Every structure is written in structure tokens, then in C-alpha cells.
Structure 1
């Protein structure tokens, strides 16, 4: 009987510790995500105001993947925080030329505002739903990975072969994939699948970044007066 009570108490304490750990990861993730989004927005604003040139496809991919893998390698140390700000700052810089092109369109300011508002609504609505229902979306991992690889390759094809229709389809698909990624990563955090708040922040940041740029692309198609 005593052993049974002891085992019950041990299990309860372990469950409480796990719950506290999950809450800590979630709290730290959202705090760091807010700071990185703010930092990225400041860098993007400066990049837009100074009319800095686009870094180009190779530099963008090299910079992103290089900083991403560096962040992953340093994610268990304090240096990981510097690395994640380096990554999100770089992505903010690449966003500057995109914003400049969009603002040059007819009603460009409205397009940016709508994309920003749409991104915020989608992120907060999906995150709140997962947090409220505690649903497990871990089953989506494989599908999302394959979908992102296909969308990436299709996006490259649309860019190199100048196919506007394909680019429009890719942007729409990316919006759906990033919505799925927000569900997946939030679920992963609350169910203990992701215990590193730095990597959780990176995943959510990339989802928000891609969601915003894809909405910009979709809305910009209607505002392009060329």
C-alpha cells in the first residue's frame, strides 16, 4: 500500500514538473518570439527606408540556412539567443526590398496593412485554438515537410521560368502550409515534443515570415498595375 502511494506521489510530481516545464517553454517562446518580431520589423523598416538592395536568391538561401543551422547548434547555450537575433535580423533585411516593391504598387500601403493584419489574425486564432483545445497535431509533421519541399521547388520553378500563375498557386499553398506549421509547432510545445524555446521561436518566426510574405504576394497580384 505504501509503495502504491509513493508511486502515485512520484507520478504526480513528475506530471506537475512536466506541466511546469511546458508552461516555461511556452512562456519563453512567446516572449522571445515577440522580441524577434519587433527586432525584425525594425530592421525591415530600416531596409525599406534606406532602399537597400535585395541580397539575391543565393545569398538569401545561404544566409538563412547558415544562420538557421548555427542557431540549432547553439540553441542550448546563451549564444543561441544572439544567433536567433542574427537570423531574424537577416530575414528582416531581406523583407525590406519586398516591402519596397509592394509599397510601389497602387494601394501598396493597404496591401501591406492587410497582409500584416491577416498574418496576425491567423497566428493568434490558430494558436489560441490549439492552446484551448490541447489537440495534438504531431501527425502533420511528415505531410508538412513534404509539402514545404514541393512548394519550395515549385517556387523556384515559378521564379526561373517566370510563370505568374504558378507563383500565385505556390503562395496560396504556402499560406496553408504555414497555418499548418503554426498548429503543429504550438501543439508540439504544449505536448512536450519541443523543449527548446529557441528552436520553437525559430520555427514559429519562419512560419509567420512565410505567411506574411505569401499574403503580400497574393494581395499584390491584385494591386500590380503593370
Structure 2
């Protein structure tokens, strides 16, 4: 009888732990989506202001330095209220870097259609893949290593394409990045709901960067198609 009581007690503790873990994951997911929505809106406003006032871009070097500096600050402040300010600083800066790119595409014939199509495709891909993970509850942690290596290679290749002006390589990289970012949406969403990511500030940054890269890559691909 005592053995049965101890077993029942352990089972009850396990159920309580699972319920608590599930509640925490849902809280992180809710806070992440809320902050992500706000940062996307702020980034869009920053990009729109850059386009409207024809503000020149910061250049490749300043973009890289600014991004990693703000990312470092956000990471250091992730457990304090200042972390939210750092997230808005990072996403606002990235919106600013997106402005000159939008200006270039909007200046093309059918440019507004290209931008709106890229935006719509980004939204559909993000919502569809996120919904798949949330409904299926599948664990995509196994693709983390592959994605990390792929993104590192894509980053190095993009720098090479930029400095050596190789259009074919640039087009290939954009295609690969779309696939990698789709994988990142699966991975990051899975990471949140399975308790791998417990900080909503860092989860927001990861998903924002994923959406930013997905949108800019689709913009590039659609722009090439429109030219042809």
C-alpha cells in the first residue's frame, strides 16, 4: 500500500511538473509573439521613414558592426527591463538598413508589387510553418546544427558575392537563405514550445532576424524575376 502511495505521489509530481512546464512555454510563446509584433511594426516605421526622407544607408561595414554591437547588448541585457529597449534598438536599426533596399526596389518598374508580394510571401511562410509546429508539436531541435553551419556558410558566401559582384552566386545564396530561414522558423518555434528557449527577448530576436532575412531574400529573388 505504501509503495502504491509513493508511486501515485511521484506520478502526481510528474503531472504537476509537466503542467508547469507547459504553462511556462505558453507564456514565453505569448510574450514572444507580442514583442515580435511590436518590433516588426517599429522596424516597418523606421524603414518607411528611411524611404520617405531618402536617408542613405549605413554601408556594409557599419551595418555589420551595428548589428553585432546591438545584438551583443541585447544578449547582455536579456534578463532585465533594458533588454526590451535593446530589442527595439536592434530592430529599429535593422529597419533603417532595410530602407535603402526598399527604395531601390520601389524605383523599379512594378517595384511596389515586388515589395508587397515579398511581404505577403514572408507572412504566409511564417504563419504556415509556425502553425504546423504548434499543431503537430513536433520537435525540430535535430536540425539546429545543420542550420547553424548553413547560415555560417551563407554569410561567408554572401560577403564574397557582394565584394566580387557575382550575380549568379548572389541569386543562389538568396534561394538557400529562404530555405534556411524556413528551417529556422520550424526550429525556433519548436524550441520555444518544448522549453529550449525560456527567454522571450532572445526568442523575439531570433524570429525577427529570421523574418528579416526571409523577406530580404524573397525581395531579391522577385526582383531578379521581374527584371527578366
Check whether TM > 0.5: yes
- C-alpha displacement of 1:10: 1.3
- C-alpha displacement of 1:42: 0.5
Aligned counterpart, 1:159 = 162
Match of 2:124 among 101, 110, 121: 121
Aligned counterpart, 2:72 = 69
CA deviation string 1:95-132 (max 9, x = no partner): 00000000011100000010000000000000000001
Aligned residues: 225
Q: Is structure 2 residue 96 aligned with structure 1 residue 97?
A: no
CA deviation string 1:24-46 (max 9, x = no partner): 00000000000000000000000
TM (normalized to structure 1)? 0.98
CA deviation string 1:119-156 (max 9, x = no partner): 00000000000001011110111100110111111111
Aligned counterpart, 2:173 = 170
Q: Which runs of no fewer than 5 residues in structure 2 stay unpaired?
A: none
The whole-number CA distance in structure 2 between the counterparts of 1:7 and 1:153 is: 51
The whole-number CA distance in structure 1 between the counterparts of 2:61 and 2:159 is: 12
Q: Which runs of no fewer than 5 residues in structure 1 stay unpaired?
A: none
- C-alpha displacement of 1:2: 2.3
Aligned counterpart, 1:190 = 193
State which drifts further: 105-114 or 5-14. 5-14
- C-alpha displacement of 1:223: 2.8
State which drifts further: 7-16 or 171-180. 7-16
3-state SS of paired residue (2:103): helix
- C-alpha displacement of 1:224: 3.7
Q: Is structure 2 residue 18 aligned with structure 1 residue 15?
A: yes
The whole-number CA distance in structure 2 between the counterparts of 1:8 and 1:129 is: 30
Q: Is structure 2 residue 45 aligned with structure 1 residue 42?
A: yes
Aligned-pair Cα RMSD in Å: 0.9
Aligned counterpart, 2:5 = 2
- C-alpha displacement of 1:12: 1.3
Q: Is structure 2 residue 58 aligned with structure 1 residue 55?
A: yes
- C-alpha displacement of 1:214: 0.3
- C-alpha displacement of 1:207: 0.3
Aligned counterpart, 1:78 = 81
Runs of 4+ in 1 over 6 A off after TM superposition: none
The whole-number CA distance in structure 2 between the counterparts of 1:220 and 1:175 is: 15
CA deviation string 1:78-99 (max 9, x = no partner): 0100000000000000000000
Match of 2:205 among 202, 207, 210: 202
